[in-house]
Structure 1
Amino acid sequence: MALLIAGLALWIAAHLFKGVAPGPRAEMTARMGSASKGIFAILLVLSVVLMVMGYRAAAFVPVWSPPQWGVHVVDLGMIFAIGLFALGHSKSPLRGRIRHPQLWGFALWAALHLLVNGDLASLVLWGTLLVWALMEMPIINARDGAWEPYRGGTTAGTIRLVVIAIVVYLVVAGIHAWLGVWPFPR
């Protein structure tokens, strides 16, 4: 569990640094240029590695029994979570309706995983990531100020977004199955 917690702490610290310490982050960028982004990318990759290793190594400590119907909700909800995450870079007019679509998609992803995983390590991992995503939004709002919604997009952009979300969902489901975690009802 220590590796999992270390990974989560590193993930949160690396993401929140710019929002809670804009002065030091700006100094770092001024001193190092775009190489400072590389440092944060390395820290984030390391945090994911630590989270995966810690989660896989954690003992199974049951906290609650997930509902049987939860798998159906997750299977459908994950398409929406992936779609929301992709919306931030899409050419869909929906992009102008939601501020922070990637964080909302990330939060939905974490909440859905909480629904079908009732053990302590899952509660720590998915619960922490859910809280982080929800906390990150007001921090970004405070830092960046008023939101200028995206204007534009086409129906073709929305169709492309839906197709991409479904394809990515199928790839992610395939990776889960390959790793031995069957993502569909049995």
Structure 2
Amino acid sequence: MILLVLGIALWVAAHLFKRVAPERRAAMGDKGKGAVAVALLVALVLIVLGYRGAPFINVWTPPAFMVHINNLLMLVAVFVYGMSATTGRLRGKMRHPQLTAVKIWAVAHLLVNGDLASIILFGSMLAWAVAEVIVINRSEAWVRPEPGPAKKDILLVVITLVMFAVITGIHAWLGVWPFPR
């Protein structure tokens, strides 16, 4: 559990660094991007190792139907995340599509995982995404991008379905079957 908590703390610190200490981050120049990237990679490794190695401590038992809600929310999360890269009509409909996707992802996983490590991981990622949005909104004005062609949104739907299949495949490969049996 210690690795999990350390990984989450490093993840949050690395992401908030440029918002909390912008002068210090700017003084690092381009090398700072590399340092933050390394910190995020280390954080991700710690989170994965900590989560996989954490003891199973059941806090609550989610009802079986939550798997369906989780899968629907995950499909929405993948789509919303993709909105950050689209150049279609949906471009600019949402200020923080990646952070919104993290929030949806976290809620979806909290609905189907009732163990302590999951609550710590997904709960803290939800709290981090909420805090990140608040900090960004207070520190930066948003210039809404112009929408592009609708055909790019159709491409986003196709990419969403492919990515959802890849993500469920990875879950199955890791031994977590994401569909009801």
The TM-score range, normalised by the shorter chain, is: over 0.9
* Contact preservation (8 Å) 2:58, 2:116: yes
Q: Which residue of 2 aligns with 1:22?
A: 22
Q: Which residue of 1 aligns with 2:40?
A: 44
Query: 5+ unaligned residues in a row in structure 2: which ranges?
Result: none
The TM-score with structure 1 as length reference comes to 0.95
Q: Which residue of 2 aligns with 1:185?
A: 180
Q: 1:152 aligns with which of 147, 150, 175?
A: 147
Q: Which residue of 2 aligns with 1:119?
A: 115
Pairing of 1:33-182 with structure 2 (within 5 A)? 34-145=30-141, 147-182=142-177
Paired positions, count: 181
CA displacement 1:79-138 (0-9 Å, x = unmatched): 110111110110122221111011001110111011100000000000000110011011
* Contact preservation (8 Å) 1:96, 1:149: yes
**Structure 1 residue ranges, 4+ long, deviating more than 4 angstroms after superposition:** none
| RMSD across aligned positions (CA) | 0.9
Cα distance in 2 for partners of 1:67, 1:155 equals 39
Shift of 1:35: 2.1
CA displacement 1:119-171 (0-9 Å, x = unmatched): 000000000001100110111112212x1112121211111111101100000
